[in-house]
Chain A
C-alpha cells in the first residue's frame, strides 16, 4: 500500500485504495430506513415551513436551504463510506448554519450560529481523524472494506496505523455532534431560529451522531475501550439533561434539554452494544420531538405531576402490581417476537430499565380517574409495545447490525458499562423521587436553580464565542 498515492487519490476525491470510489449509495435496510425517516421529517417540515412563512420574502431562501440540508442528510444516510458520511455531514452542517441564521438580525441568533459552527468543526475534526485512522488500520473507509478486512490486517505499514483505532474518533465525532454535555450550548442557542428549524435539528440532524455509530458499528469490534469511553462521555448528559429539563419554565428550552438527555441515552444504548434499540430510540425520539416542536404554539394544559406518596396502597399494590404488569408485558413481547431479551444486545440491562420505569409509572399518583385494572393493563401494554418494538428492530436489522458480541459477552468491560448505565439511571430515578421535596431544602433549591441555568455551562462558552 502506497500511502502517498492514497493521499493523492483522496485529495482528488477518488477515495481510499480498496474501493474505487468512497462515494455512492448504500442501499440496505439500515440506510433506507434512515433515508425514509429523514424524507418523512423533511416532508412534514417542508409543509409546515411553506405555510409558516407564507407571503414573506424569507420563505424562498428558507425553503431552499431546508431542501439542501435535507438532501445532504439523505445522502449521508445512504453513505457507503466514512468519507461520504463526513462530507455530507459538513454539507448538512453548513445548510443548517444558514437556517439558524434566519433571524440573523438578532445578536443571540448570530451568537448561537457561531457556537454551532465552532463545535461542528470539532466534530468534523474527529471525523477526519476517523477517516485517517480507518485508512491506516483498514486501508479504506468503505463499509465493505471495513467488513472485509480484519483489523490491522494485511500488514499495513503506514504511519497512519499508529493512530488510535477509528472507533475512538467516531466516539468523539458523535459526542461533539450530538450536543452532549458540556457542549450542548449551541443546541440551546438554536432555539433562536424559527420553530421548523428546531424541529429539523432536534428530530433529525442531531441524530446523525447516533446513526454514525450504528452505521459503522463494525469499527467497535474488539474496541471495548472505545465503548467504555463512550459510556463515560455521555453519562453526564443522561443524568443532567433530564434534570435541567425538569427545571425549565420555557417550553422550547425544556424540549432542548430533553434532547440532550435523549441523545445521551441513545449513545449509551450504543455503548451497551444495543444498536437496534438505539435505532428505534432514534426514530421514536425524532418523531416525538418534531411533533413537540411543531406544536409549540399549543397551550396544552400541562398537568402538574403530583408527588408520589409512600402510602400503603402504593407500596403494597401499585408498585408490585406495576412491576408484575410491566414484566408480563415485556416478557410477552419478547417471547412472541424474539425469544428472550438476551438475544438483543444489551437486552437484559434495557429490560430491567424498562421494567423499573413502568413500575414507577404504575405507582405514580397522576391519572386519578383510571381504574386499577385499566392502569395495570396500560402498563402491561406499554411493556409489550416496548419489547415488541425492540425485538422487531433487532430482527429486521439483524443482517446489518450483527457481528458484534453482546455486552454480556464483553466480559468485565461489558459488565462495567451495564453497571454504569444502571447506576446513572438509578441516580436519575432517585433524583426524581426526591425532587418533590426539593423546595423544602437548601440543597434542593441550589440544585433546582443550577438546573434552571443549565448548570451555568453556557457561561463557559458564551463570552468567548460572543467576542
Chain B
C-alpha cells in the first residue's frame, strides 16, 4: 500500500463518514426510472418518509461499547425549539430546561437580567415581542427560584419530574416540584400501557440476546420474519385485551415494504413521518439499538429500523381502541399545550441562551485575566513563549474534560512540562480483535482503519481459563437439575464472595486481557505493512501539533475508568476509544513513535534522536496515572522518567484533593482546604480508590458531567486557568496549520463528538424519561445490551440519574457546547462553508462558535448567515 494513500485514508475517514450522514433527505429525491406507476411512486414516497423518520432516531450503543450520542442527531437541521415542539407533540416532554432549574441558576447569579437582554439580541427576536418575552422570562425565573415546598426526600427522587412544555405546570414551580408522584409519574411511563409493549420488547431481547437467556430464539429470517413467528405464539397482547391480535397480525403482509404500504392505506396518519417517530420514540432504547445495528455498515444505512417502525405501526393499528392510554394522555396534553402561547417555550429558550452567554463571557473574561497575569510577571512580550525552548516533557492527554484538572495539576507540579490535548485514540483508528467480536478502539464517527491482533499469550491464557472451571460452574448452576443441588454444593461458598464485596476486597485490579505486554504490541501490529505503520505515525505527528523540537520524553496518556459492578462502566471510559480504555491506543502510538525503522524513514529533522514516547493511562476514577515505558526507554531515559514519575505522584494528589469535595462519601473531610500533608494525601487516595472499587458505588466519578466548553487553542491561552473540569481542551496552533487541514479535522470530528457528549448530558438532564436511563439502583441488564429500569423491559437510552445528579441536586448544568477556536475567522468560515453539518449545528444553536482570532480579548462570535459579531468580554 502506498504510504501516502493510506495516510489520506485515515485522515479523511472521519470526513467521509460524516459526509455520508449529511444529507438525510437524500432518499426523498430518488431518481425515478421511466414508466413508474403511480403505485410505485407512492410506495417510494412512503419509503422516503419512513426513512426520514428512522434517521431521526439516535443510535444507541450497547453496554459493552457505550459511548455518548447526541439524542437530537436527527434534528440537526432544526433548532432546539423545533425539537421541543416535536417532543411536546409526540411524547408530552419538553426539550428545554424547566423554570425551576433555570430559576435556581438565575438566583445563584449564574446569569443576570443583562444576559437576558443580550441573549434576546443574539437570538434576533422580533422587536415587538422582546419586551414581552423578557418580562415573562424574568417573572418565571423568579417564580422558579422560589423554594418549591419540596420535601428533601422528594427532591432527590431519582427521576426528576419531567418538565412539560408551557406554563401551566412550569409557571407554578410548586406544582411541578410536588408533581413527582402525580402527573410527572404518569408522563414518565410513556409506554407503560401499550398493550403490545411486553410482546415487542421480549421479542427484541430474545432476538438480540447475547447469552443471558438459556433458551435461544434462533429463527431464520430478519427482524420482521422473526417477529411474525413470535407473534404466532405470543398471547400477551390478547390477554391485555386485544382480541384476535395474533390472527390479525399473521394476515398482514410479510414483506416490510408491502406491510408499510398496506398500513399507509388502512391506518393512515396525517403525517406519517411524525406518527412513526412518535411510535419509535416510545421505545427509544430499542429503536436506537436497531439504528446502531446498521451504523457500522454505513451511517446512512437503516438496517432493520424501517421494519421495526412497521412492526410498531402495525401493533398500534391493531391495538387501537384498546388501552393505549398513553397516546390518549398525550393528546390530552396536546390540547392543553396548544392553548398555551408559544411564548413560554421561547422565554425558556431565551433564559437558556442567556445562561450560556453569561457562562461563555465569564470564561472569556477569565482567559483574558489569566493571559495578562502570565505576561505581567515575566514582563516581556513573548509571554506566551516564556517556557524554555525545549521542554523537559511533552505530555499529550485526551480532550476529555476530566483531563483538564489533571493537566493543570501536572503543570503546577512540573513547570517544565508542556501539556497537549488530542482525541484519546491518538489518531490510531484501530479495532482490536481477539476472540469474539472485535472491539472498535476509535470514535464512532470513524471506521477502524487497521486491526490490532490480540492473539497474545496472556490473552489466550485468559480465554482458556474462562473455558475451564468457570464454564463448568456456569453450566452446573444453570442446568436443569444441577441448578438445585448447586446451591447445596457450592452456594455456601458464596459467603466468601459476599464478604469480599462488603469489605471492598474486589479484584478490580484485574488486568485488561486485551492489552498485551510490550513485545506483543509489536506482534499484534506485525501484519501491517511498513507503509501503513509509517502513515499512521505521520498522521499522528502531523495532527498532534507538538512544538518542535520534541522533548526528550513525549508522554501519550490515554484514559480509562476502573469501576466495579457498574453495568454502564463503558460510559466512563474513553469515548474516543469507542467506550474502552485508551491504553491500547496509547501503547500502539508510543510503539510506532519509538520504532527505529519508522524513525529512520521519517528523517531526524522531525523527531530528535533522543526523543522517546511513553504510553500512560489516566485512571479517571482514582486520578492516578500509570506510566508504561518500554524497557528500552527505561534504560535510556531513566532520569527523565524518575523526575516525571515524581511529578505525576504530586499531580495526582493535587488533582484528588481538588476533586474530593464533589464526591459523595469523600466529602466528610474537607480535603480541599486541609493542609496537603503526605498523610492526608495517602488517606485521600485510599478513600478514593476504595470508592471506585466498591461494588455498591453508584457515583464512582462524575464522568463528563458539567461539560460546557470546547477550546481549540494553544495551551498558553488557558494555562493557569481553573476551568473546573468543564472544558474539552484541544491543542491547536494556527501558525502550524496554514492550510487549515488540522482545524478542519478538529471541527468536523472531535468537536462534533464533543457536542454529542454535551447534548447527551443535556438530554439526560433535561428529558430523563426519554433520554436518560433512570435510577441506577433499579437497573437490570437486558439481553447483555442495555439496562432497563425495574421490570420495564425497554432498554433505556442515555445516562442514569446518578450520573448527572447527586443527592442534593443536579451536577450537570444543561448548557449547549460553547466552542472557542483560536484561529483566524476566514479559516473557520472557509471550513464551515464546506460542511453542511457544521452549518446546521451552528445555525440552529446546537453549538456556539467563537473565534479567538486576536486572543480571548478580541473574540468574534459566528452568527450563521450574518457573519461575525464582536463578543463583549466581561
Contact = CB atoms under 8 A, between A and B. Distances in A.
B646 interface: no
Interface centre among A106, A298, A302 (most CB of B within 10 A): A106
A55 B808 CA distance: 7
Interface centre among B186, B230, B469, B483 (most CB of A within 10 A): B483
B438 interface: no
Nearest to B467: A369
Interface stretch (B385-393, B484-492, B653-661): B484-492
B274 interface: no
Given A56-B807, A291-B498, A305-B214, A251 B484 contact: no
Contacts of A296: 565, 567, 779-781
Interface string B150-172: 00110111110000000000000
B213 A246 contact: yes
Contact of B665 (A51, A196, A252, A448): A51
A47 B6 CA distance: 55
Interface string B765-809: 000000000010111111110001111110000000000001110
A49 B233 contact: no
Given A51-B665, A446-B233, A453-B234, A192 B697 contact: no
Given A109-B790, A367-B468, A370-B468, A295 B482 contact: no
B474 A283 contact: no
A180 to B, nearest CB: 15
Interface in A273-323: 277, 280-281, 283-288, 290-291, 294-299, 301-305
A114 to B, nearest CB: 14
B212 A249 contact: yes
A298 B471 CA distance: 17
Contacts of A374: 468
Contacts of B474: 302-303, 305, 366
Interface string B200-233: 0010011001111111111100000000011011
A250 B781 contact: yes
B235 interface: yes
A19 interface: no
Contacts of B232: 442, 445
A450 B212 CA distance: 17
B807 A44 contact: no
Interface residues of B, number: 108
Interface in B682-726: 694-699
Given A52-B696, A294-B696, A367-B475, A301 B211 contact: yes
Interface in A239-255: 242, 245-254
B320 interface: no
A52 B777 contact: yes
Contact of A253 (B664, B780, B808): B780
B124 interface: no
Interface in A415-436: 425, 428-429, 431-433, 435
Interface in A86-109: 102-109
Given A56-B156, A103-B778, A288 B233 contact: no
Contacts of A195: 777-779
Contacts of A429: 480-481
Given A103-B775, A262-B484, A456-B239, A284 B212 contact: no
A357 B491 CA distance: 16
Contacts of A389: 488-489, 492
B212 A250 contact: yes
B479 interface: yes
B566 A297 contact: yes
Contact of A105 (B157, B565, B566): B157
B515 interface: no
Contacts of A53: 777, 807
Nearest to A109: B790
Contacts of A120: none
Nearest to A459: B239
Given A251-B212, A283-B492, A378 B783 contact: no
A42 to B, nearest CB: 11
A356 B192 contact: no
B216 A439 contact: yes
Interface in A50-86: 50-59, 61
Interface centre among B211, B234, B494, B503 (most CB of A within 10 A): B494
B212 to A, nearest CB: 5
B698 A242 contact: no
Nearest to A428: B480
A358 interface: yes
A258 interface: yes
Contacts of A303: 211, 466-467, 470-471, 474
B218 to A, nearest CB: 5
Given A192-B791, A250-B782, A290-B494, A107 B211 contact: no
A398 B491 CA distance: 22
Interface in A211-252: 242, 245-252
Contact of A108 (B502, B694, B791, B807): B791
Given A107-B189, A357-B485, A291 B471 contact: no
Contacts of B189: 106-108
A428 B486 CA distance: 15
A363 B482 CA distance: 12
A280 B159 CA distance: 41
Contacts of B781: 250-251, 296-297, 299
A461 interface: no
B63 interface: yes
A250 B468 contact: no
A194 B206 contact: no
Contacts of B697: 51-52, 54
Contact of A192 (B64, B153, B465, B790): B790
B501 A55 contact: no
B481 A294 contact: no
Contacts of A438: 215
A294 B499 CA distance: 12
Contacts of B779: 195, 296-297
Contacts of A449: 202, 230, 233-234
Interface in B100-159: 152-153, 155-159
Nearest to A248: B213
A49 B476 CA distance: 30
B482 A251 contact: no
Contact of B216 (A104, A194, A254, A304): A304
A452 B485 CA distance: 24
Contacts of B664: 54-56
A191 interface: yes
B678 interface: no
Nearest to B241: A463
B790 A48 contact: no
Nearest to B184: A105
B481 A360 contact: yes
Given A47-B502, A52-B698, A305-B479, 18 more contacts: A48-B501, A54-B697, A55-B665, A57-B807, A105-B180, A189-B791, A247-B215, A261-B484, A294-B498, A297-B565, A303-B466, A361-B482, A367-B471, A368-B467, A386-B489, A432-B481, A433-B480, A435-B214
Sorted nearest first, the 4 A-B pairs with minimum C-beta distance are A284-B491, A55-B664, A432-B480, A249-B205
7 contacts: A189-B791, A192-B791, A249-B783, A287-B494, A299-B64, A382-B476, A451-B215
Interface of B: 63-64, 152-153, 155-159, 180-181, 184-186, 188-189, 192, 198, 202, 205-206, 209-219, 229-230, 232-236, 239-240, 464-472, 474-476, 478-495, 497-499, 501-503, 564-567, 569, 664-665, 694-699, 775, 777-784, 788-793, 806-808
Interface of A: 40-41, 43-44, 47-59, 61, 102-109, 188-189, 191-196, 242, 245-254, 258, 261-262, 265, 277, 280-281, 283-288, 290-291, 294-299, 301-305, 353-354, 356-358, 360-361, 364, 366-370, 374-375, 378, 382, 385-386, 389-390, 425, 428-429, 431-433, 435, 438-439, 442, 445-446, 448-453, 456, 459
